[in-house]
Amino acid sequence: MRIALFDSGYGGLTVLSHARRVLPSEEFIFYADRDHVPYGTKSVPAVRGFVRTAFRFLIEQQRADAVVVACNTATSVAVDEMRRLYDVPIIGMEPAVKKALTRDADHRVLVTATPITVHGEKLKRLISSCDPNGLVDLLALPQLVEFAERQEFVSSAVEAYLRDAFAPYRFADYSAIVLGCTHFNYFKDTMRQLLPQNVRLVDGNEGTVEELARRTGLRTQPIGAQTAHCTFFESGRPVVRAEELAHMEADLARAARMEEIV
Ligand code: DGL
């Protein structure tokens, strides 16, 4: 099966990293819309336009059998329209609020995401469906997307940004931080250092890939040595230069390491 994963940039590689190891026999296409990243600080109509262009490319030109929108921001504002337009399975991503509250319904949960996701109706609806006791707080961390796109994953600037953003919260009251943007997974090591052990780092990557398997009738495998083949595109252009491919592979390797951190 030909499966497309789509993100504004390199954040979606953290989903691909998991997907290509648990579905090693499938054919993947990864589309990073690097001409337009970041999405999360742009206008909603602009992001909808970018997503339409990406879907036209992935479904009409690349003939993808299924599309994973490995981007919470694009899911928030554009997935419903894409599902109306196209017949193939379209798997979106929403911050894993339910997962966090299911694990601990007594403590607070801090949901981090981009500004579009944080202010979007979709997240408001999700929270009102699963948080009757008002335990969820929201925090936008747009700068992490910029850091990730330039592969600045561990630095004093990243640490200072996160330290500052986390400063207002009394983390003894929290059980989890939800990583509601795929780019944020690259920063789990720094977050782990800054947060007390009672705060777990919760993301939706594994759940999204399970949903992909369920919707397409595929069976996920235990992680082994084999990884699925993937062709990479940046805003519709094939990625062929060795240094660009090496950049993707380095991000994928980091994503696999970050997956171990909870
Ligand atoms: N990686 C995306 C997400 O999951 C969006 C990042 C951005 O382009 O702002 O929300």
The confidence band for 16, taking pLDDT boundaries of 50, 70 and 90, is very high
Domain limit, last residue, from 155, 180, 203: 203
Domain limit, last residue, from 162, 180, 203: 203
How remote is the CA of residue 5 from the centroid of ligand 1, in Å?
13
Mean per-residue pLDDT, 170-196: 98
Q: Provide the residue count of the chain.
A: 262
Q: Are residues 64 and 145 in the same domain?
A: no
Q: What is d(CA 178, CA 204) in angstroms, rounded to the nearest whole number?
A: 8
Owning domain of residue 67: 2-93+205-260
CB of residue 183 inside a 6 A radius of ligand 1: yes
pLDDT averaged over every residue in the chain? 97
Q: Are residues 131 and 191 in the same domain?
A: yes
Check whether 92 has a pLDDT greater than 90.
yes
CB of residue 7 inside a 6 A radius of ligand 1: yes
Q: Return the structure tokens found at 226.
A: 């084999």
Q: Are residues 164 and 219 in the same domain?
A: no
CB of residue 204 inside a 6 A radius of ligand 1: no
CB of residue 123 inside a 6 A radius of ligand 1: no
Q: Are residues 108 and 126 in the same domain?
A: yes
Per residue in 23-47, pLDDT tens? 999 999 999 999 999 999 999 999 9
Mean per-residue pLDDT, 200-204: 98
The pLDDT of residue 119: 98
Per residue in 108-162, pLDDT tens? 999 999 999 999 999 999 999 999 999 999 999 999 999 999 999 999 999 999 9
The answer to whether the beta carbons of residues 94 and 83 sit under 8 Å apart is no
Q: Are residues 182 and 254 in the same domain?
A: no
Mean per-residue pLDDT, 75-99: 98
Q: Are residues 196 and 133 in the same domain?
A: yes
Q: Are residues 118 and 248 in the same domain?
A: no
Q: Are residues 61 and 79 in the same domain?
A: yes
The pLDDT of residue 67: 98
Q: Are residues 181 and 198 in the same domain?
A: yes
For residue 181, give the nearest of 72, 23, 66 by alpha carbon.
Answer: 72
The pLDDT of residue 225: 87
Q: Are residues 162 and 211 in the same domain?
A: no
Q: Are residues 44 and 89 in the same domain?
A: yes
Check whether 203 has a pLDDT greater than 90.
yes
Give the domain CATH number at 136.
3.40.50.1860
Residue 133 among known ligand-binding residues? no
Mean per-residue pLDDT, 68-86: 98
In the set 37, 71, 113, 195, the catalytic residue is 71
Q: Are residues 120 and 45 in the same domain?
A: no
The pLDDT of residue 102: 95
Per residue in 218-241, pLDDT tens? 999 999 889 999 999 999 999 999
Number of domains in the chain: 2
Cα distances from 15 to residues 30, 92, 101, 169, in angstroms, run 10, 12, 22, 28
Domain limit, last residue, from 203, 218, 239: 203
Active site annotation includes 230: no
Active site annotation includes 130: no
